[in-house]
Structure 1
Amino acid sequence: MLSLLAAALLTIPDAAGDTRGDGSYTLPTRPPVSASALDLRELKVETVGGKLRLTTGLGAVQNPWNAPLGYSAGVLDIFVKSRVGGASALAKLGFVTPAQQGWQYHIHLDGFGNSLEFVPDGQTEAQPRSVNLNARLSGSAVVLDTPIPAGQYSYWVTMSVYSPFTQDGMLHPGTGGGSASLIAPRNDGPIPVDVISGSDQARAYTVGVLQPVGQTRDRRSLLLLALGAAGLLAGLIATVRVWRKSRV
């Protein structure tokens, strides 16, 4: 029934075959995970019962670590900007948002579980929310039913390589290592191997700033600007009227 009530809000495509970070990352070959299983293809945003349903399309689905989700090749992070303010660092992934483009919600998912963080009004630090997202596979896509109220938002979407042998569950890029390592030109580069980017992906890795996709302008900021302009205009008109009366 819920699927029948779903209303599409947004579909954001991403290029295929770009799972090498800035183009220089070399994926591990042990375990043998294909690049397609880490390849973000699209983000589809729908509203179901007044809440967001987020569907992330992948090039393929693989489950090398036998996770209950049925997918364990990568780690999916989705950040949602719903209002002004928010946090600027995209968790500890090595990316930040552009200036004045902070996020309010962060969904973190691997094949064994998921979590949700929220940044309250007037704050920049995220707090965990005790909620279990309904995560499932649909073909080669990961579907998430969230408690986030439906709206026109901006998004950052990243995919990292899953590893059960690191503290945060993700392979970090580095210049050394063997077949189980994520090889990159430097040790401090961004962790994700693919992002949904509205601009040049290689540049995002170079400067460390990831542009949002979706609604990139905050309408409330525009509204406040319009109200301010209207206030200035009203003040100017009142001043002119007083000046004219004083001249009579």
Structure 2
Amino acid sequence: MASLALAVADQALADLPPTHPCGTCPVRDIAVCGALDDASLRCFKEGGPTVAYDAGETVAFEGDAATSVYTLTAGLLRLSRFLPDGRRQIAGFLFPGDFLGLTLEKEHAFTVQAVVPSTLCRFPRPRFDSFAAGQPALERRLYALAAQELAAAREQLVLLGRKTATERIASFLLMLARRGRAEGTAADDIRIPVSRADMGDYLGLRIETVSRELSNLKAARVIQFTGRQTLRLCDRDRIEQLAEG
């Protein structure tokens, strides 16, 4: 029944008129608000202004009061934390359609920065919580999102704790491929929107190691660079084998 309700909501969203406040939103079908029908979505959006951040700007600092929640509609966000010795650990990246603020804590656990120019729908947390309490479909979507975040956190533990440098790079590329497909990119075409430094801080690798591993995959004809920040998976079976170890 839940999947049927979401399918009906998604169809309703697909038919939104351009005059609807979410009528031109590029991620309305994959964002958490995709669970809402036309009328509920309109009410929801009325309390959530669109905010924009330039590349490098900070959405929230670690330790800031978590007074708002966000849906990323365009761009890319980086979640990071600095260790006492000054090293940076990137906990993850948020892509268009992702939700920021799903936590029981009163403070942000990570610093959130825009990697590229980004736009978000921002909602005051008390209003969002009150609204969600009256929307069973939205609550189910949030529950599913929480489960996905938990699974991603566990995968990150395995990535950093057990996988080799090659396995980490392969896993990261497959993750980007999955996100690209969700956004309509061809199955084997990958856009790498982050720097080598960001990749290293996310994967627990030095920049030199990231560059070397990518060069090795290119030399082995597993990948082919098609641009400064794009590549193609030439041997998907091989990259999947490498990711699995």
TM-score, normalised by the number of residues in structure 2 = 0.24
Larger helix percent: 2
Larger strand percent: 1
Structure with the larger RCO, 1 or 2 (CA within 8 Å, 6+ apart): 1
